[in-house]
Structure 1
Amino acid sequence: MHLVDDDLGWLSRGRDQDLSGLLAGHSDYREFVAALNARNDGWVTTTRVLSPRVIRELPGFTACRQQ
């Protein structure tokens, strides 16, 4: 899901000029790691409702939108 998060972030920032998903403004490494871990935990929680097939297909779906 990390790759899907990256792809959707690039799409949001590049196509839509939406910077709301950036993990910016952390003054030190520990803060950044904590924020990144929280984001990853959110993805894990959110994707529990998705089928394995949908999860396997998401990277292809999101990657093709960036081209």
Structure 2
Amino acid sequence: MTLCLAAGALAVSLGASEITLAWRHSVQQTLWEEVWRAGPDGVTLVEARIQGSGAGMEAPPEARLVDG
């Protein structure tokens, strides 16, 4: 399974079944990363990594700290 990104009329095949999206909070500069995987049921969030919570970026209740 291959992931594709689409924006407007443009679609790009990434040639991968898993991607990591990363960004920083615009004010607090907190790093947030998400790993997404394509499978038979569509695209699924596999893992999320955050440096800490920020305005509008709270970790879900089931989140846990792993390796510091």
TM over 0.5: no
TM-score (norm 2): 0.23
| Greater share of strand | 2
Higher RCO structure, 1 or 2 (CA under 8 Å, sep 6+): 1
Task: Mark the structure with the bigger radius of gyration.
Answer: 2
TM-score (norm 1): 0.23
